[in-house]
Structure 1
């Protein structure tokens, strides 16, 4: 996968792409990151990329020319379909399902804005996706794009040491992930559930499925709306509702 980022602050990405999983993924040639200052594409003699909004109002608006030219430059030799992602608090709320969708692509371009917003023509005629990581406003799209890139790259084959890790993540199954325990089995009187020490893999899987459902019921009941439940899951939910 190739990932291009258009930003006015390229140095923000240096530390992120040179640490941990994101760094290892690039070293293994699974993904490549390319950060571009879209000010370099401005045709203004002062390299301006923003201007006052028509109709008046506070703040500055990013002009279309540098963004359009930058995207054209990055896609001019591409035969494959590129996803052009606008980071915007008005965008679709980002989810694990979206991460899984983007992880199937070959080329992603992230547009990270600043100031008051984007010229609407960028939104209407250039991008394929508008994404938001939550109902709040950041100073720019850089941090949000880092979150999305991290969540996508870890899903690429060969990135994680154990492919099961991504499959069992919270939200991948539609439920929150079950609790985890490790050694020691007894820490200051706080004990690991006996079933996890039993060696009975069938019972362990059943316990994990039940506890994933319990955790979702307690913490994110909204995730259960519209979910098709098995007969066993229905019985477990009845237990949870009774406080059992």
Structure 2
């Protein structure tokens, strides 16, 4: 089931993607992720082109995982990490499908990073791997936009990862998907730049939920960005970037000044 948030006539609404369009529902997205489709009270049908899709969640935090693909580590000639490498993006970085990524004047190299994102459905603290999927609402696509020159200059990641618009997510949440075997790719101006599979992740989704929830409480709507495959590179103003996951769809954004 694909769940999304959208704006229609200036009002934020929740819907289910169905029959090439969407049906508005009387539930929050997190509530809907925990209910069968037949149990959802449905209202009006809209086509996708008559609404504005907005970020599927409003997270209290975005927890990101660095160097989590074996093929990416091989590309960089780096040893595999023994534990997940974590950093945070503020919620003000989050934008939605077809929103603009703003190129900050402080940077001269802004990179794309295609990622699978895990969306938390229940408050999670000290969760085991065996129970992790009970706390996951679903999955979406994410672009961990990074000011690479500032990352290298600072010697740490906060500034480089935290500019407004540096975390596109969407277009919707897929609630029924195997996160361990999904093709993930990225196109820049229709040219494939990243192409891998989530089976190459070093730490899978359930292990990340366990590890992170033993450090910090995960709230409903929080996002775990699970790392990027090989092929990371720069974007320029005017470029169009598309993150694609087979089980989810395409997250599309344009880079603007």
TM-score, normalisation: structure 1: 0.21
The structure with more radius of gyration: 1
The structure with the largest helix share of the pair is 1
TM-score, normalisation: structure 2: 0.20
The structure with the largest strand share of the pair is 2
